[in-house]
Structure 1
């Protein structure tokens, strides 16, 4: 049995980060709104094999997005199909080992 870890609060105080990699950490997103708001402008986001839960909306500056192995469910259209003012820079998109549709 995994003991879920909360993100340490100092992470949310970092204002110059553009990349985040959390893997196989039993990280559980206990505040999805706060977390996705924090990483909203990141260009590299790799969160595989955790227990994140909800899907975000991607911004045009995301280049790498890897959320495989999180048992997420829901529609990919919410994640990808929304109006962006700028052209998307997404180059690498990995979502396998989830329960996604759309």
Structure 2
């Protein structure tokens, strides 16, 4: 039913946070991208993943971001969220958005 699906979605969305291992996060991002739209927090977590020390996870996240940036609506969302970013995350997204 709808409440079970909503509860499942909320739980799944939580697995993208930095508190989880990169393997769990990568699986969550993959599932969400197939079934649900990313929440703003998921997008922030994805940007965080794009500067992760594990190169495999970092590349996975960067590929996801590249795919999202091809969609004007998602690009706009990422641009808005970039105002909340700092440091390496902000520099990476600015380079992708060509924002100076």
TM tier, shorter chain?
Answer: 0.3 to 0.5
Give TM-score scaled by structure 1 length: 0.33
Name which structure has the greater RCO, CA cutoff 8 Å, separation 6+.
1
TM-score, with normalisation over the residues of structure 2?
A: 0.34
Relative to total residues, which structure has the larger strand share, 1 or 2? 1
